[in-house]
């Protein structure tokens, strides 16, 4: 998740720092040294979940898929950034593990090095995977893994504040109707909306629904549509609908503001579902509106299960069995429940999740409308572009530049960075 929260490998590793999820503690270990016996033996597995230690439900599930495939899994957990960097190093040294779970923006980075197999190489069936989610792991027309689930952003609201201000959340279907709601709640003495505008990937992550919701494209940061989106955020701050703190807010600090009970709205992710339900005030959630109508595409968080290239290609048959075990409809639901409601990437999995948790319907819909940050074949250009985008957001929100000037500078810098790789 992003929250949970990238051409030479060493250069790319530095860029990877921008697109990682929120980091945890890493554990030590190495891949590529396990038994090469494809019929039995040990298969190596890396994932970005150090919070799930040996003996946890997640660790046990991973081992169960190994047992089903007739092998033992040697699992190593790193935080997200360390995992990407370790994987790039393993690619150089020829010590890659059999399976890596990667934060989705990192998939194209590793694919570009040539260290990942394609889904076709392994004979993996991706026909049931939602195309918008699968696209986050695509590079040059080839798929390099399968999403194990996805999280994304939506708009939480304080139902008590909206009711007192006479705002029906169902009426919020565009930027104009949301801004009107913000005017009403602030006139009633409450605070409007909080979000994360920090100068990191989290700032870009939270700005993208508004950017894409205006019809803007990441290859042209200074388009009129992009300027409209940054005008929107800047105007909210100028009018007091959003606090000055959004400039330095991470997603966590933004959420803490929403939990004070003073804000009508908070932009945040699937991972806050349980926290929202535990509050003393009534909460709800709506999808982020596009500029004029409909739902804005929000960026996807979540990991892909990938298979690095091995010298001993006979290992792939068992690797495929392990991946197949992890990506059944029931397996997707298990992942959803383990990781704070990752939404399954298939309709069957989504239907099974909703049968257990009907309250997640809005989140399923939001994921269906979501978009990968590296989609549109941006690949490893994305982190270079994203850095310029969050820099522009900072400049405009602080008043240092107008939205137009900030985005013009961002486009110039992004063009220079991507053309000079």
Read off the pLDDT of residues 218-253 as tens digits, 9 standing for 90 and up: 999 999 999 999 999 999 999 999 999 999 999 999
How many other β-carbons are positioned within 10 Å of the β-carbon of residue 163? 12
Q: What is the model's pLDDT at position 421?
A: 63
Q: What is the model's pLDDT at position 101?
A: 97
pTM over 0.75: yes
Q: What is the mean pLDDT of residues 192-216?
A: 97
CB 152, CB 299: distance < 8 Å: yes
Residue 146, C-beta contacts closer than 8 angstroms, at least 6 positions apart: 119, 124, 126, 129, 134, 137, 304, 305, 323, 327, 345
In this prediction, residue 420 has a pLDDT band, given cuts at 50, 70 and 90, of confident
CB 47, CB 103: distance < 8 Å: no
Q: What is the model's pLDDT at position 38?
A: 46
Q: What is the mean pLDDT of residues 300-310?
A: 95
**Architecture of the domain delimited by 9-151+300-368:** 3-Layer(aba) Sandwich (3.40)
How many other β-carbons are positioned within 10 Å of the β-carbon of residue 189? 10
Q: What is the model's pLDDT at position 24?
A: 29
Q: Which of 210, 216, 183, 180 is nearest to 195 (CA)?
A: 210
Domain with CATH 3.40.190.10 in the chain: 9-151+300-368, 153-298+378-419
In this prediction, residue 377 has a pLDDT band, given cuts at 50, 70 and 90, of confident
pLDDT > 80? residue 140: yes
Q: What is the mean pLDDT of residues 77-100?
A: 92
Residue 99 pairs in a beta bridge with 45
Q: Which two tokens stand for residue 219?
A: 């290859």
Mean model confidence pLDDT for the chain? 90
CB 82, CB 70: distance < 8 Å: no
**Architecture of the domain delimited by 153-298+378-419:** 3-Layer(aba) Sandwich (3.40)
Q: Return the higher-pLDDT residue of 18 and 57.
A: 57
Residue 64 pairs in a beta bridge with none
Q: What is the model's pLDDT at position 39?
A: 52
């Amino acid at each position: 998740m992003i929250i949970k929260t990238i051409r030479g490998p060493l250069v790319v590793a530095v860029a990877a720092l921008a697109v990682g999820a929120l980091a945890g503690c890493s554990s030590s270990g190495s891949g590529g040294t396990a038994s090469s016996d494809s019929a039995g033996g040990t298969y190596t597995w890396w994932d970005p979940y150090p919070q799930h230690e040996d003996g946890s439900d997640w660790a046990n599930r991973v081992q169960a898929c190994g047992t089903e495939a007739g092998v033992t899994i040697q699992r190593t957990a790193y935080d997200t950034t360390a995992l990407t960097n370790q994987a790039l190093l393993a690619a150089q040294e020829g010590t890659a593990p059999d399976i890596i779970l990667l934060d989705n923006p990192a998939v194209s980075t590793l694919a570009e090095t040539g260290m990942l197999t394609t889904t076709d190489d392994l004979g993996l069936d991706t026909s049931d995977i939602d195309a918008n989610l699968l696209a986050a792991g695509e590079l040059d027309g080839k798929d390099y893994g399968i999403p194990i689930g996805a999280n994304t952003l939506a708009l939480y609201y304080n139902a008590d504040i909206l009711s007192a201000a006479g705002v029906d959340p169902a009426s919020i279907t565009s930027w104009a109707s949301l801004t009107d709601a913000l005017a009403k709640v602030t006139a009633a003495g409450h605070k409007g909306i909080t979000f994360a505008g920090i100068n990191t990937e989290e700032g870009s992550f939270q700005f993208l629904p508004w950017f894409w919701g205006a019809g803007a494209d990441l290859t042209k940061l200074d388009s009129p549509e992009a300027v409209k989106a940054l005008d929107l955020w800047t105007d909210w701050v100028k009018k007091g609908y959003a606090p000055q703190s959004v400039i330095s807010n991470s997603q966590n600090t933004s959420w803490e503001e929403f939990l004070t009970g003073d804000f009508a709205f908070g932009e945040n992710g699937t991972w806050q579902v349980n926290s929202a339900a535990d509050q003393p005030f009534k909460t709800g959630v709506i999808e982020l509106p596009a500029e004029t109508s409909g739902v804005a595409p929000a960026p996807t968080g979540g990991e892909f299960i990938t298979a690095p290239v091995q010298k001993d290609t006979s290992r792939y048959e068992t690797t495929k069995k392990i991946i197949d075990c992890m990506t059944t409809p029931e397996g997707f639901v298990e992942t959803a429940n383990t990781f704070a409601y990752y939404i399954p990437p298939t309709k069957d999995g989504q239907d099974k999740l909703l049968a257990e948790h009907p309250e997640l319907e809005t989140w399923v819909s939001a994921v269906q409308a979501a978009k990968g940050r590296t989609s549109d074949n941006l690949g490893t250009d994305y982190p270079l572009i994203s850095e310029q985008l969050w820099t522009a957001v900072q400049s405009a929100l602080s008043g240092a530049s107008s939205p137009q000037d900030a985005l013009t500078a961002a486009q110039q810098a992004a063009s220079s960075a991507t053309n000079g790789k």
